[in-house]
Every structure is written in structure tokens, then in C-alpha cells.
Structure 1
Amino acid sequence: MLVIFLSLLLITGFSTAIAQQRNSSNISLGSSLSPNANPYWLSGSGQFAFGFYEKDDGFAIGIWLEKIRQKTVVWTANRDNPPLSINVTLLLTNDGRLVLEQEQGQQTALTNNALFSASSASMLNTGNFVLYNSSSNIIWQTFDAPTDTILPGQPLLAGNKLVSSSSETSHARGKFQLIMQHDGNLVQYPSDIPPKANDYAYWDSKTFDARDNISLNLDRNGQLFLRNLTGIHIKNLNGQGNTSDNFSLYRLTLGFDGILRLYSHRLDQDNDNWSIEWSPSSSNCDPIGLCGLNAYCTVKEQKAVCTCPPGFDFLDGRQPDLGCKRNSSTDGCTSKNGETVDILQELGRVEWEDNPYSILSLTKTECRENCSKDCECEAALFKEQECRKQKFPLRFGRERQDNSGTTIIKVRFGSSNTTQVSKRRKKQQGMGVLIGSSVILAFAVGILAITGILIYRCRVREYKKIKNQGNDGLIEEVSLRSYTYGELEKATNGFTDEVGKGAFGTVFKGVIDNGKTLVAVKRLETVVAESEREFRNEMKAIGRTHHKNLVKLFGYCHDGTNRLLVYEYMNNGSLADFLFKSRRKPSWEEKTGIALNVARGILYLHDECESQIIHCDIKPENILMDEQKCTKIADFGLAKLLMPNQTRTYTGIRGTRGYVAPEWHRNLPITLKADVYSFGILLLEIICGRRNVDVDLPEEEVVLANWVFDCFEAGELDRLVKDEQVEMNKLERMVRVGLWCIQEEPSFRPTMKRVVLMLEGTVEIPAPPSPTPFSSAM
């Protein structure tokens, strides 16, 4: 009987497999799809489609339910890539490769089965897109590479995971992940937390002793369960499912909000509705990391809402989930007439990441007093007679209905939250203070009137002086001085003291103002046909740029064919000297300060000038250092300018090899992101204290960017700094910033505003992908 039963089972299974293949679309070699003609291949039932769907202002490749009007996407290829243009083609080539072909003919493989050639493909009724070999065996399938969803019959194997989408409308990787761990436990984490960091798990199946080779499974009746290799059910997660319902389709999706939900859809009803059948979360604020740094999650009208604690405002009011920043920059632990400038405010039932620098056994009153007197203490988490003192930023804030204790936050005096406190203090002032203020006010008005008269007379004299001097004595900070060639020849002693030479010309040391002011005079040696117009436009814009991290331009010379620039003299050389030549290497604190100062300088050029400026040549030689070792960006006066209504420009290649962005070499539009790339390379050089290419090093370390990413992936960042004393979390933050900046695709790179926020520690940084393109199974 057993033999007969097994034979029947085998025949039934074989028949089912044949039927499944017949109820699918068979796709032959040479077949193709394009967004504007034949955009997808349907399954045999017409329920699922594989091909191009609309994404933002372009297209993406994925699988969706075609019979539902509002397409439900269940799988996406290369989900983090920018939208595809209408001119691309998806091709199953005659030699058995599934490739994406660009308009220029460039092909990118969509699968990782390079060792095997497909003979055909099929969109199965299960929602699985597969490639077959000549023996009709599956050699690649989308079920092996899930994105945020699994379907009935699609197991989530040990070591695999679902990653949420970034928003309701974007299928790019988001903040949360569901991992089927090798220890048998199914766990939800924030995406940027290393697996098995159990303190950050916000749900798990509690099967951590089930061992390896456990898989998560969903059957066609909607039953969700864990099973081992022998077929034994380890645990049912949602009961027995619905065995009598043959008209529902199920899917398990990790939502962009971090909530895992099992959905059902009635196939026999003409609607787009999905019903929630099961979820392990009881609150929409259960996911850890839903809100950014210094923000916490609250539930309002059954929706998760990010909120700022006292003394904080949103980084971006339009995107509350980015986090919060202090609304006052006043330093603590200062006082005036014995009165503290800080007040303490309390926040109840909010849970944060537990990362204290000091733990004390105190009452709440004692905890408040202790934090108030401690300059290091910026917040304290008080619970069960324990005072856990913290520094900002706070992370992973969630409102909890259980006893999560009290958050004591030190709010800076003068912020919007302390306005009423300030008013109460003012009302407590005596009548004597009021009379004294009146006397002081009257005296101040008299002084103001006298000062106004003196200033007026001084301005009249200065105006007359400027008028008499013509174009030679414009007031500093108002405009640039225009020098004659003879004046600068004299100032530089006939251009004899050369201090440097760059791509744009030679730099000479000189003196102006009767020997009182040292200057650096750059003589431009290459003049192009349109240089006169470009030169004057750039001088006009530079006259309006003032920032502490930009080398100050005193004036210029436009005398015949001579073009010269007069800068402030920086007597501590360049960042290249400090990093690569100096005997005393910069400390880690100096490195972080240098990186942040350079980033702020570039941010000013990009976002805070009246005319946006692309520097085009960010490198250590163009970062100069003054007497206090403050870093300042040079040569920005020779960058290509963008008018207010432009976002990109085409131009000849500028910059230095190794620092120029990939788009320079492809004749693509150059945007502000070109500077972001150069800054990323510079940042990695600052971190590691070496050049971006060094052929004297071992082969795997020659190209700095590749080596840094390899170390990042392997969890060996300590190799980058050798014996230097560095906090590893701060090192990883800077490495992540650098790797995001050097992404080959410009749209992947952050803006400089975002870079500054990341370096300051104000926003979280997700794990970066490889800086260079790669093909994978997605």
C-alpha cells in the first residue's frame, strides 16, 4: 500500500507541475518588452504580469496583479535604481540571457545565472517569473529573490529577508526588514541595524532554538507557518487559515511603515480592496526607527505620527519622519547672575534607545537635579528609581502605553518652548527694575541719536573719498577691488615668489596695502574664446559670496589679455600637505572638523549663494588652511556658474583625475552632484589619511573607494585607521557618508545639505550600496 500511495503522490505532483507550466505564458528566446509597445507578459490566468510599470516620471521592472485596477506590485527588479526611460528594452536574448538594453545598445543582466543559459521563460500563475533550461528545469526565479512580499508557495528561506518599501508610492528599499535567521527565529529589525542585534528587534516568532534550515511559508488558504527541511511545521503564526475559501488570493507584505501584514483579496468580487487577515503588531508605533533622530512616534487616529520633544523642531516640516533638531543653539552650563539658562521638561510614556553614559540610583527629583548640574547631561530616562543620563541625539523614540518611565529633557533657555517661562520671570521683576530700565532707555536713545549723526558724517566723507579714488578703493565687503596689471606686478615683486601651480594657473605670494596685507595672486594662464564674458560673470557672483570656509577674494585684474585673482594668503598650506606630507598627522577630532567645514563651504556654494556655484575641482590641494588650521575652499571663483533657473549644465571636463564624477566622462549633464562625488572621495582620503589611488599598496587596497567598501561590507573598518584611536560608530558614520557620496548614479548621491546633516549626526544613514554598478538577482 505504501508503494502505491507514494506512486500516486509522485504522479499527482508531476501532473500538478505540468498543469502549472501549461497554465502559464511560455516566452521563447528573442522575445522582448518595451514600455511603449508590448510592456508586459501575462500569466496563463491573466492574474499576474511581469514587465514595465510606471514609476515616478519613468518606468520600473516588476511583477504585479494585472486584474486589480490599482496595480499591487509584489516584486521589483533593481528597486533602488532610478526610473527607466521609455526607450529601454527588456530582452530574452537568443543566447539565453535576460537583459535590459539601453537606447545606446548597452546591456545589463537582470539575473545572476551567468553560468547557465535559458531556453525559455514563463510567468506562472503563482506570481513567479522563471527561466528554464533545455531540460525544463528552473534555473532562476523571482521567488528566490523577494523584495517586500511573499506569495502562496513562495518560501522565505533561512538567511533571506523582506525589506520594506520606502513609501506608499516608492518601492525603493525602506527602513525595515524581516529576516528568517539561521537560528530558526523570524525577526523584524530596523534596516540599518546588524542582524541578531536583539536589543533592536521589535517582533520575533520566538523560535530561536529551532536551529537552521527553517523557512517561512504561506499556503493558498492563507495559513502562515514555519517549517523545517523534513516538512514538519515548527509553528503556525496565524491559526489554520481558511480551507473552504478557493476564491481569495493572499500575500504577506512588510509595509513601508514597518508593519507586517497578511492580506487577502476576493477574486470573485469586482473591487480593488485588500483585507488585513493578520498582523503581529498591536500598535502602529511598534516598529523601531519609524521616526528619525530626536523624534518619537505617537498614534493619532490609528496612524503613526512623528512628534518632536520639548525644545526641538522638525528638520523638515514636510517630512516629519526625518527627525528633529534643537530650536536653540545656546550652549548649556552657562549662567547669568547665578541664574541657569536651562530648564527641565518631562515627557511621559515614551521609550527611547537605551544608551546611557551614566546610570545612577536616584529618585526622580534627585535625577532632575543631577542632570541639571551635569554639563554632559542633555536628557535622562527615569524608571524604577534609576536615572539613566543621555546625550543627544536620542533615537528610536516610541510612545508606549505601559510604564516606560519619564524622559527628562534639558531645554535651552531662549528656545520657543521656554518663551512662557521667560514671560513669567519678567513679570516677577520689581518696580525698581522697571524704573531703571526707563532711565537706561532714555540714555540709550540719546546715545543712538549722537551715533547716528556721527555715522552719517563718516559715510559722507567715505563716499567722497571713494568718488575721488574712482575704481581703485571700493570698500572691503561691499565689492571686489579691480587692480591694474602693473599694481600686481609690483605687489608680487615681478611675479618671482611662486608658491603653487594648479590646473588654472600659477600662484605668487605678494603684499598690498603698503606691505600690511599678505595676498596670493593667481595668474590665469589659459584663456578660451569666451573667457572674458565668463570671467566678468564669475567675478560679479564672487563679489557676493562670504563664508568662513571659503578663501576670501580681495580683487581681480582684467587688463588686456591678463587675468589675475587676488586672494587672502593662507600660510598653513593645503589639506594635501597636512594629510600626506606633514610629520604630525591630524587627530580624529581634526579630521571630523575638517570634513564638516569643507562640507559646509560646498553647501554654501550650492544652496546659499545668490547664484549657485559648482566648484568642479574639489580636492585636497584646493582646501587651504589658515593660521588656526581652519579649512577654506579655494578656486571656487573659476567654477562654472548656474543661473537660478538651471539645475544642470554641459561643459568641457574640469577637475582632477580621481576626483571627477563619472558623468564627466560620459558627456552627461553636470549637476551639483558632481561636487558631491568629489567631496566623497576627499572624505575617504581624510578618513584614511592616504591618496585615493596608491599603486604601492597591496592590490586590493590600490583603489581607496573599492577598499573602503570591501572593509565596510566585511565589518573590518578598523583596517582603515590602523592604530588610530577612533570611536567605531563615528568612523562608520563617516564611511557611510563617503560611500553614499561616490555612488556612480548621480541621483543616488545625497545633496550637500543632507551630507552636512549626516556628518553632524542629525539624521540616520542607511547602509550604502556598492559605489559601482553591479548585477544581481535583486
Structure 2
Amino acid sequence: MLWSSSGIREARKEKGSAQPRWSKKLGGLSFHNSKIRELSDGNRVMETELSFGQTTFLLWVPPFLSYELWKLRIELSNLVGQTASKLAAIITTEAQKGESIVNLGSSLTPTSKSSWQSQSGFYAFGFYQQANGYAVGVFLAGIPEKTVVWTAIRDKLPALASVTLNFTSDGRLIMQSAQGEETAIANPPERAASASMLDSGNFVLYNSYKKIIWQSFESPTNTLLQGQRLTAGKELLSSVSESDQSTGIFRLKMQTDGNLVQYPVQTADTSEYAYWASGTDGKGSNVSLCLDDDGHLYLLNSTGTILNNLTQGGYPTKDVVYFMRIDVDGIFRLFSHNLHKNGNFSVIWSSSDNKCDPKGLCGLNGFCTMIDQDANCLCLPRFASVIEGNWSSGCERNFTAESCKSKDVGMKYIMQAVPNTVWEDNSFSSLTILTKDDCEAACLKDCNCEAATYKDGVCRKQKLPLRYGKRVLSDDNIAFIKEAISTSTINKTEPLGREKYSQKGIMILCISLGAFGLIMSVISAIAIYKNRVRAYRRLSNSGNVDLTMDVSPRSFTYSDLEKMTNGFKEELGRGSFGTVYKGTIWNGQKVVAVKRLEKVLTEGEREFQTEMKVIGRTHHKNLVRLLGYCHDGENRLLVYEYMSNGSLADILFNPEKKLCWDERIEIARNIAKGILYLHEECESQIIHCDIKPQNILMDEYRCPKISDFGLAKLLKPDQTNTFTGIRGTKGYVAPEWHRNQPVTVKADVYSFGIVLLELICCRKSVDWSFPEEEAILEEWAYSCFEAHELDKLVSGKDVDKRQLERIVKVGLWCILDEPSLRPSMKKVLLMLEGTVDVPIPPSPTSFLSTV
């Protein structure tokens, strides 16, 4: 994009700038002040000023194109005469800075000269050791930890030490064995004339015109580097292990529908196999995953619009490198490394906090369970690991299973229960049965049934192997595994009163149930197919899998909600916006929370539906999902997803449910992420107005989700908790509510600060059971901070002292009386994560904070 000198003046009104990186002049034509600029709409461009005579042009290019600046020669051909050729020459020269040219005839061997390094020496292309041999790829050579970021022909067996990598005189890049066998490393569309390892980590091949004809950035393996993109239709594949870069068992796909999704390998791109998604499906056919120099990881469409910020960016850029990788465990993470500090890479973002989320982690017949913060794989009863220590290899029977037609009277079967586990539903028959004992019996009677799952009166018969197993303590699903034992053992283990079937009776029953099962399987297959087709179009938020779509919540009638809640029979709680009842939808298969709003504004149908659609389009893992609403006469009700662990208040203030320090800090970060989304990232800015532990609900994984957002504007002016005209709860409302000052997002920052202090201390903000000087938490916290007695806030428990001081300082900054002095939620999150320093806060009610 070219702008005239008048355009430069306008462009400089946009926010953000950087120091000039270089300047160059040629025959009156100057090419200078290259910088990264953030525009007012949030997008980023590389800006360069071009001057010729009295005319100055401003060139803007998306940052991810900076490694392809040579392409701009075509666009600049519209300039007059020699200006274009001079300008193109300059751009070509600048594009080649930071590269080290490899000429035809060059070669590498694993044991002598093993790599071609970039000009800075930070990246290298060549041989690295793998198992008992060598592989070819790009790796970080400028730090002690040699980290591989790209691998050529990754599933080829490691090469021997006698192999040679040749850049032949006819422009081919090949690996040649001692016996003369050749393997192509790259397949460019035309003959290469030179190659280069760029400082960006991109290994490229040029033709004789210095045009890039092949580059490693366009065929990523498991990693994205700064300036690299994962384009539509491409995917990253995890490695087998940290030391083996062969293809692993997980993939991250940038789908053509705009959705970024994680799946196990060798599965269809459908929702039942997904375990994480960005929720950007339907946003365009040319969406890319991009990583900027400041750690900004985001999804960008073809018009330059950012669809989803996976990270906010703004991280340090000096002497820091960032890269994103789908790891061996199936979770993709953003890493950073300070070049002047020894140590490993630091994780600054990950797609999931639950390491059991990736489907297939434990292989066939294995299931994943969390122990503290780590995943652990277990086998089904009477099964053992196929390869000890290799989880993905799965589990196999440690007994011989007899055929259905076996006449061995010495072998009988019992059912072993594996409670609180969920598995892929690959059932061949589904029965509606009253009890789990009936489900066991039905599987025992069916010769074809090797396992069964039971939940909510539905028994699903399955054949082995079972896959995608995970223990979820809040889920009532039970798996039953058929186990063969000898007759002498069965008398000891079979439950008293279990019916004994003769061989003839079992045979007749098997034939009958087999015929019945065949009919039921056909019906079930049709139902399952239709359900799976609809599933990818529906909102899905099961566990941590976030397959969200930009659709409006459903409208219910009042009679619908009466049936769903059984006449509003079971009350879950009462809040500032109304009473919440337990209900079910989808024929009782999904539990929901139904909130009856009280004293809401009597708006028209269109206005109320508009507000509901705005709330319904807010999709974030730390916000409670709005599934539907009711606007029927005077009735106003909302239908939310159900949170099985209640509210944060139920856990935080309950001595029997103590949260450890790390859990509390992680909860604080996640709450901050949810508020930041409401303030800066959702379609319409939302000020919550009532952030408190009671409005922060906890899902089955104890992940916090903010509720009641977007409802403040629906309340009548006199609908308050404690003060007329004030929306919020005493102890959490910001001071500006009492001063008739305009209320901004900083009111939520104040409330978050109070909640943060409560998380630190595991107590309520106002509690008169404490001594008078400790009763008001915000005053006592600052007193302890000023006196360097922060241990008192955590009752002397052993916690990270530096982290405690940082978190307390963040809380004190949030609760300053003057709203303009409080940090934004973006700054709060960066301080909580330790990305930016936290200065010493003033007293919350000091003179400086009230002037």
C-alpha cells in the first residue's frame, strides 16, 4: 500500500511506533524509517518511508510478509521510469539483509561441517543427531539448548554418519548415502541457483533472479516461528518425543472454514474428534495463524482483520525469541527465551491447562487421569501396557479372550467397573435400562458385547478396543469391561444372587439379542449420524473443548422453561439479578441453569433480543455460556450452561475445600482473562458492574467462568443490593459509584482487585469476626504491605515470597480510589503473569490517588 506525503501526516496519527531500524539513499531516492506500527483498529503493519525529490511515500506491509519483500517489486512497477527499478533494487537489497548465501556445490556432513548458519548464528540448517543417526532440519544454534524447529522428510529413518548433504551444481538439494542413494530434501518448481539460512529461521532456495522458489516456512512441521504463518488447509503435527522428530499422534489444523482445531491424527475433521478449537469457524476461507515478534499469536483473515487473539502480544522484543509448537502431549504452547539468560524456554500461553484433554494420549484401552497437575495413563482392568513407558502404544489384555462359539465350560465372564470415565461412543447397541446392574447383565448375556458404558439410564454396548478414555470425577458415566475368569474363580468373585445361565440358554439368548442388536444398531447408526452432523453446527463447550460458533442463543417460551425446570422446583441460588433454578434440555441429557430475572426494564421485544444476541456472541473459556432466553409477556429468563462446582465463594470461603496457592493464582489469571475479553475483545464492550466470588462459577475442572455479564443495563434504576442507584455488591463496588462520577471499565478493575485480595487471603473482604484492624481486607492488606509483613496475609504458609509480593501489589493498584490511576485489565494480566514489572503502589486512599 502506497501513501503520499499528505497521507503520512494522517498515518502518524495512528497509535504506536518504533525507532527507525535502517535508512538508505540512492540517487535522490531514500528508503528509511522501517518500523512496526499498530493501527487504531488493532492490526499491525510494517511501515517504510520512501522519498524521491519532493514526494514522499509511505509503504505499509503486514509483518508476516516482511520476509518476502522482494515481491513488492511487482507492485512498485507502477512508479515512473527509473524510480521503480531503483526502489526495487533497494528493497531487494534490504530483504537480503540477515542472510548467509549458500552457493551451488556446497555440502555438509554430520561429523565435519554439519550446518549452514544464518548471519547472526542464531539459526542453522543442517544435520542434528536423532536416535543413533542423523536427521536434516532447522534448529536454534545460538543457545545451549539445540531446539529443532523444522525437519525435512521427518518420517525417514535416521541417516548414518557417512551420509552427505549436497547442494549440487545443477541446483538440487539432496541427501546422498555412501552407496549413492539420493533423497530429495526440497522439491522446488525450478532449478535453484543459491540458498540461504535467514535470521528469521526460514531456509530458502533462490532462482537466478534471486526470487524465492522454495522455503521451509511454507511447509512447517510442528513449530511456527516469528513472522511465520499457518495458512488455510495446512496443519502442524506433533513429534513422537522430545528426541524423536518423527510424526506423532496429534495435529493442529488451520481449517478452510476459518476454525483452528486440534485433533488426534488419522481422524476426520469433525467435532466428535476435536479437543480444542478457536471458535472462528465461518469467519472466512483464507484465515491464517500468525506469530509476531512481540509474542502476539492471532488469527488473521484475508482482509487483514484479527479474528481471535490467542495472546495479546506486547511482550518484550529485545533479546527475546518466541515460537509456537504443538508438543508431544498434544497441547500447543507459546514459548519465550531470553537470549542473555541461561535456562529453558518459558511457556507463556497454552491451549489447555488440563493435560488429559488431548484425545488419544493414552492409546487404545487406556484412560488418562490427572495427578496434581500432571497426566497419568492407566489401563482397563486385566489389561497391561503394550510398551512399558510408552503411553500412546495403549494397553492389551493380559488374558486370552475366548470366541463367542467356544464350548470351554471352564471359562466364565464377569464385569469390572471403571467409574467416572468417559470414552468415545462407538456403540453397536443402545438400550434404555433402569440400573447399572441391568446394564452389566445385558452385556454379559451378549456374546458380542466386550464392554458397556452406563449413564442416566442408557446402556451402550461396545466392542474393544475403547479409545479416548479420560477420568472425569464429576461425570457419572461408568464403563464395564468383560473379564474372563476360570470357573473356580467365578464362584468367589461373582456377586451373590447373580443368575446362572446354561450354555443352551445363553446360546438362545445370544441369537435373540443378536437379532435385536442388529435392528437397534441400524437405528442407532442413523441417529448417531444425524446427531454428529448437527453437533458441528451447534455450540459445544464440553470440558475444555471450545467449539464455539457465532450464533444467537435460542428463544424459549415460558412453558418450555417450566417443563425444563419441573415447575422451577430445584433452586440453585439467589443473586443480585434473580433466582437460579436447575433444569435440563435435550430430553434430559444436558443440565442447565435457568435464571429468572427480577425487576428488569420493560423493554420491547426487539431491544431485549438485541441485548441477548450481544451477550450470546461473547465466547470465551472464562465466561459462562448463554444458551437461550425467554421474553414471554412480563417474564424475562435466561438459560445458561450448568456449573457443577458452584461458585468461587463456595470453594474459597469453605475451610473444607481449600485451594492451594498455585490454584488460586491460576484462578486469578483466568478471571482477569475473562474480564479483559469483556472490556477489549468482544464485539460490544461490556462493563460487568458486579464482579465478586459469587458471580464467578467453577466448572468440573475448577476453571472459573464469569456469570451475569451484560445484565447491568437490563436492571431498573432502583434494582440494587445495598445502595440506591448503585449496581454492585457492598465491599466490591468502586468509589466512583458513590460520587456520581461516570462509571467505566475501571469499576470492574476495582472489584477484581478486591477479589484478588480475597484469593490471596482465602477470606471475605469485610469480616467483623477478625480484630478491628483486620476486618476490612483492603486496609489490612496495605498495612501488611507497608510493614513488610505479607506473611500475615497467607497465615504464614509457605508460598513463593516474590510472587506473593507481586500479586499483592497488583491488587493494591487495582483498588486505588482514583479510577484513572488503576491499570487496565490488559496491564493487570501482564503484571499477574510476571511479564511487566509492578511498581510500588500508593496507599489506596492517599492524597495522590484522590487529586
Match of 1:328 in 2: 399
* Alpha-carbon distance, 1:169 to partner: 1.2
> More deviation in 99-108 or 55-64?
99-108
Partners of 1:183 and 1:212 within 8 A in 2? yes
Secondary structure at 1:381 match in 2: strand
Match of 2:151 in 1: 76
Q: Cα deviation per residue 1:365-401 (whole Å; 9 max; x = unaligned)?
A: 3222322322222211111221111111111212224
Q: Cα 1:65–1:336, aligned 2, differ >3 Å: closer, same or farther? A: closer
Return the match for 1:227 from 272, 290, 300: 300
Q: How does 1:576-595 map to 2 (within 5 A)?
A: none
Q: How does 1:157-556 map to 2 (within 5 A)?
A: 157-194=231-268, 196-238=269-311, 240-269=312-341, 271-331=342-402, 341-363=412-434, 364-403=436-475, 405-414=477-486, 423=492
Alignment partners' CA distance in 1, 2:290 and 2:441: 54
Alignment partners' CA distance in 1, 2:388 and 2:323: 34
* Alpha-carbon distance, 1:104 to partner: 3.3
* Alpha-carbon distance, 1:282 to partner: 2.3
* Alpha-carbon distance, 1:247 to partner: 2.6
Alignment partners' CA distance in 2, 1:105 and 1:424: 65
Aligned-partner residue type, residue 38 of structure 1: K
* Alpha-carbon distance, 1:427 to partner: 13
Match of 1:648 in 2: none
Within the alignment, does 1:123 sit opposite 2:194 as a pair?
no
Q: Cα 1:422–1:72, aligned 2, differ >3 Å: closer, same or farther? A: farther
Match of 2:619 in 1: none
> More deviation in 243-252 or 170-179?
243-252
Q: Cα 1:344–1:285, aligned 2, differ >3 Å: closer, same or farther? A: same
Partners of 2:151 and 2:221 within 8 A in 1? yes
Partners of 2:361 and 2:391 within 8 A in 1? no
* Alpha-carbon distance, 1:424 to partner: 6.2
Q: Cα deviation per residue 1:571-630 (whole Å; 9 max; x = unaligned)?
A: xxxxxxxxxxxxxxxxxxxxxxxxxxxxxxxxxxxxxxxxxxxxxxxxxxxxxxxxxxxx
Match of 1:465 in 2: none
* Alpha-carbon distance, 1:263 to partner: 0.8
Q: Cα 1:109–1:320, aligned 2, differ >3 Å: closer, same or farther? A: closer
Q: How does 1:14-29 map to 2 (within 5 A)?
A: 18-29=93-104
Within the alignment, does 1:150 sit opposite 2:224 as a pair?
yes
Q: Cα 1:342–1:301, aligned 2, differ >3 Å: closer, same or farther? A: same
Within the alignment, does 1:93 sit opposite 2:172 as a pair?
no
Q: Cα 1:406–1:424, aligned 2, differ >3 Å: closer, same or farther? A: closer
Secondary structure at 2:59 match in 1: helix
Aligned-partner residue type, residue 275 of structure 2: Y
Partners of 1:289 and 1:397 within 8 A in 2? yes
Alignment partners' CA distance in 2, 1:405 and 1:247: 50
Alignment partners' CA distance in 1, 2:407 and 2:378: 32
Match of 1:522 in 2: none
Partners of 1:227 and 1:233 within 8 A in 2? yes
Q: Cα deviation per residue 1:330-350 (whole Å; 9 max; x = unaligned)?
A: 538799999992222211221
Q: Cα 1:385–1:29, aligned 2, differ >3 Å: closer, same or farther? A: same
Partners of 1:64 and 1:73 within 8 A in 2? yes
Alignment partners' CA distance in 1, 2:183 and 2:129: 20
Q: How does 1:705-724 map to 2 (within 5 A)?
A: none
Alignment partners' CA distance in 2, 1:426 and 1:355: 28
Number of equivalenced pairs: 421
* Alpha-carbon distance, 1:70 to partner: 2.4
Partners of 2:293 and 2:317 within 8 A in 1? no
Q: Cα deviation per residue 1:296-318 (whole Å; 9 max; x = unaligned)?
A: 12223533322111132222334
Match of 1:3 in 2: 4
Q: Cα 1:340–1:235, aligned 2, differ >3 Å: closer, same or farther? A: same
Alignment partners' CA distance in 1, 2:476 and 2:154: 38
* Alpha-carbon distance, 1:26 to partner: 1.4
Aligned-partner residue type, residue 32 of structure 1: S
Aligned-partner residue type, residue 349 of structure 2: W
Secondary structure at 2:226 match in 1: coil
Q: CA RMSD in A?
A: 2.9
* Alpha-carbon distance, 1:19 to partner: 4.0
* Alpha-carbon distance, 1:265 to partner: 0.7
Aligned-partner residue type, residue 279 of structure 1: S
Alignment partners' CA distance in 2, 1:104 and 1:328: 47
Alignment partners' CA distance in 1, 2:181 and 2:414: 62
Q: Cα deviation per residue 1:544-569 (whole Å; 9 max; x = unaligned)?
A: xxxxxxxxxxxxxxxxxxxxxxxxxx
* Alpha-carbon distance, 1:281 to partner: 1.3
Alignment partners' CA distance in 2, 1:402 and 1:71: 42
Secondary structure at 1:10 match in 2: strand
Q: Cα deviation per residue 1:197-216 (whole Å; 9 max; x = unaligned)?
A: 32111111111111211110
Q: Cα deviation per residue 1:692-731 (whole Å; 9 max; x = unaligned)?
A: xxxxxxxxxxxxxxxxxxxxxxxxxxxxxxxxxxxxxxxx
Aligned-partner residue type, residue 70 of structure 1: E
Q: Cα 1:48–1:191, aligned 2, differ >3 Å: closer, same or farther? A: same
Alignment partners' CA distance in 1, 2:166 and 2:402: 61
Aligned-partner residue type, residue 207 of structure 1: T
Secondary structure at 2:230 match in 1: coil
Alignment partners' CA distance in 1, 2:180 and 2:443: 64
Match of 2:207 in 1: 133
Q: Cα 1:318–1:282, aligned 2, differ >3 Å: closer, same or farther? A: closer
* Alpha-carbon distance, 1:66 to partner: 0.8
Alignment partners' CA distance in 1, 2:149 and 2:114: 17
Alignment partners' CA distance in 2, 1:11 and 1:412: 71
Q: Cα 1:326–1:16, aligned 2, differ >3 Å: closer, same or farther? A: same
Q: Cα 1:425–1:399, aligned 2, differ >3 Å: closer, same or farther? A: closer
* Alpha-carbon distance, 1:16 to partner: 7.6
Report % sequence identity.
44
Match of 1:64 in 2: 139
Match of 1:49 in 2: 124
TM normalised by structure 1 equals: 0.51
Q: Which structure 1 segments of 5+ residues have no match?
A: 429-778
Q: Cα deviation per residue 1:48-79 (whole Å; 9 max; x = unaligned)?
A: 11111111222111111112222100011111
Aligned-partner residue type, residue 285 of structure 1: C
Q: How does 1:588-603 map to 2 (within 5 A)?
A: none
Q: Which structure 2 segments of 5+ residues have no match?
A: 9-48, 51-56, 70-89, 498-851
Aligned-partner residue type, residue 124 of structure 1: L
Partners of 1:291 and 1:322 within 8 A in 2? yes
Match of 2:809 in 1: none
Partners of 1:333 and 1:341 within 8 A in 2? no
